Amino acid sequence: MCALHHKRSWMRSAAGRIKNHEKAMSQDFLTNQFLVAMPTLEDPNFRESVTLICEHNERGALGIIINRPMNVVLDDVLKQLDLTARDLATGAASVYMGGPVQPERGFVIHSPQGEWEATLKVGDNLGVTTSRDVLAALAGGGGPKQVFVALGYSGWSAGQLEEELKSNSWLSVPADAGIIFDTPAEQRWQAAARLLGVDLSLLSGDAGHA
């Protein structure tokens, strides 16, 4: 399990970052796209991963890996915020490793977007919230209908993601909320590639990217 001792501050610490990233993205950027790791990508942080790109602009990119469940459930996080889930199913929901950067920070991907204290809108339907209010609503039996909770995020500096795409490390495809919320974690890598009609088991190291 990751350390949970700093969860009281993880929402507050990320809130400023989220609030500063609500500018419109150029069509050349990959916000609201999945990055699907190519089979030859050997970095253990991203091997066979699917990452939702929440922000991509000239300064770099921020993404959340969506297929790395941790040995942590939502109850573990709620307890650190002095919250208690009203029902067992909510408390037992899996928490995911969103990326190797600052794993003490938390991100809630959700639909609908709603109105929360610190939310980055990703496309027309998805939101990424870092404020405590969304978790308080979930604990009380309310909140967004569809929710995905992650600790940590994946980050790229200016131009880095573009270079990785050129080197055939990733496939890119428009994000599908059904894969985030409805598809079992172990099936998301293959399912995301199938959005492009790609069978990852047939790709070689020389395959191109979308």
Q: Return the structure tokens found at 127.
A: 């939101």
Confidence class for position 28, pLDDT limits 50, 70, 90: low
Residue 204's pLDDT is what? 56
129 occurs within a structural domain: no
DSSP of 8-27, one letter per residue?
A: HHHHHHHHHHHHT--SPPPT
- The CATH number of whichever domain residue 18 belongs to comes to 3.40.1740.10
Question: Is 146 within the bounds of a domain?
Answer: no
User: What tokens does 125 get?
Assistant: 């339907």
**Nearest 5°: CA angle at 97, between 155 and 36?**
60
The per-residue pLDDT for 9 is: 45
Which pLDDT tens digit goes with each residue over 166-197?
Answer: 999 999 999 999 999 999 999 999 999 999 99
Mean pLDDT along residues 4-19: 45
pLDDT at 106 over 60: yes
Residue 13 counted as domain residue: yes
pLDDT, residue 180, reads: 98
Residue 57 lies in a domain: yes
Burial readout 139-160 (b: 16 or more C-beta within 10 A, e: otherwise): beeebbebbbbbbbbbbbeeee
Q: How many domains does the chain have?
A: 1
In angstroms, rounded to a whole number, what is the distance separating the alpha carbons of residues 156 and 105? Answer: 17
Q: Is the residue at 135 inside a domain? A: no
Comparing 80 with 179, which gets the higher pLDDT?
A: 179
What is the per-residue pLDDT for 29? 86
Owning domain of residue 52? 7-106+151-202
* pLDDT (0 to 100) of residue 104: 86
Quote the pLDDT of residue 51.
Answer: 98
**Residue 78 resides in a domain:** yes
Among residues of the chain, what percentage have pLDDT more than 70?
A: 83
> Is residue 41 domain-resident?
yes
Q: Per the domain annotation, does 37 fall within a domain?
A: yes
Report residue 19's pLDDT band, with 50, 70 and 90 as the boundaries: very low
Residue 188, both tokens:
């998301």
